[in-house]
Amino acid sequence: MRPIQNAEGHVGLTARNYPIASATAVARGQVVKLSAGLVVSAAAAETGAILGVAAENHPGTADVLDPRANGTEILVYDNPGLIFECPAPVITAASGSATTVVPAAGDVDSSSANDAFNDSVLVLISKAAESANTDPVGKRIPVTDYTASGTVIAKASGGVPSAGDKYEVYPTLGAAVGGVASLDSATLSRLVLTAKGASVIRVVGHDFDRHMLRCMAALHSL
């Protein structure tokens, strides 16, 4: 995650020191929380309050060039009104119709509920080599419904997706993403659709030109 501004409109970003166990590994850009008064990485399917976004790397091992690498403090962007961004998740079509997209197996968490993607926006970002899809790359496509059985995303009528066509997914503005997305378990710094549960993060903006989601904490430690 990359902090970009505060909800009040100003772009001056400040980070404050928080205690961390010397051996705890946290990377810059990870979403973090407090546990027993110490900074730790948020869980991929986090449902508790978050503190913010790590402002520095803390690998938890000694580094002669960085005495803070295994120190007992870490800088965190902790403003409750902080807006941070990450790349929009991408799905690959397995099939579809003029009014549906069926994502490839594993691209969307199979336990996502009916209607989880309602009112989201799809953006076609690339087509497979032999794609017959008549939609132009870059087209924004409203999602009208989602059926969990078969992971069928209903969309406004248009081109027929071919297997291999790729779409960015922009979740509904203002919605907590717990039923739609999770933090990437490998980096804890972006949203993915292959799992769900990061319900403490809310999508507050779509930056279609830069392919980014803007997010805020829906539940904050402070």
| pLDDT tens digits, 90-149 | 999 999 999 999 999 999 998 888 999 999 999 999 999 999 999 999 999 999 999 998
1-89+181-222 CATH pick, 3.30.200, 1.10.1060, 2.40.300, 2.60.40? 2.40.300
Residues 60-75: tens digit of each pLDDT? 999 999 999 999 999 9
The domains of the chain are located at 1-89+181-222, 94-169
At residue 9 the predicted structure's pLDDT band, cuts being 50, 70 and 90, is confident
Dihedrals phi, psi of 27, to nearest 5 degrees? -100, 150
Give the Cα separation of 218 and 222 in Å (integer): 12
Residues 38-48: tens digit of each pLDDT? 999 999 999 99
Whether the predicted model's global pTM rises above the 0.75 cut: yes
| Alpha-carbon distances, residue 80 vs 98, 106, 218 (angstroms) | 42, 33, 9
- Bridging pattern class, strands 182-183 and 191-192: antiparallel
Q: Which of 189, 182, 124, 191 is nearest to 153 (CA)?
A: 124
Length of the chain: 222
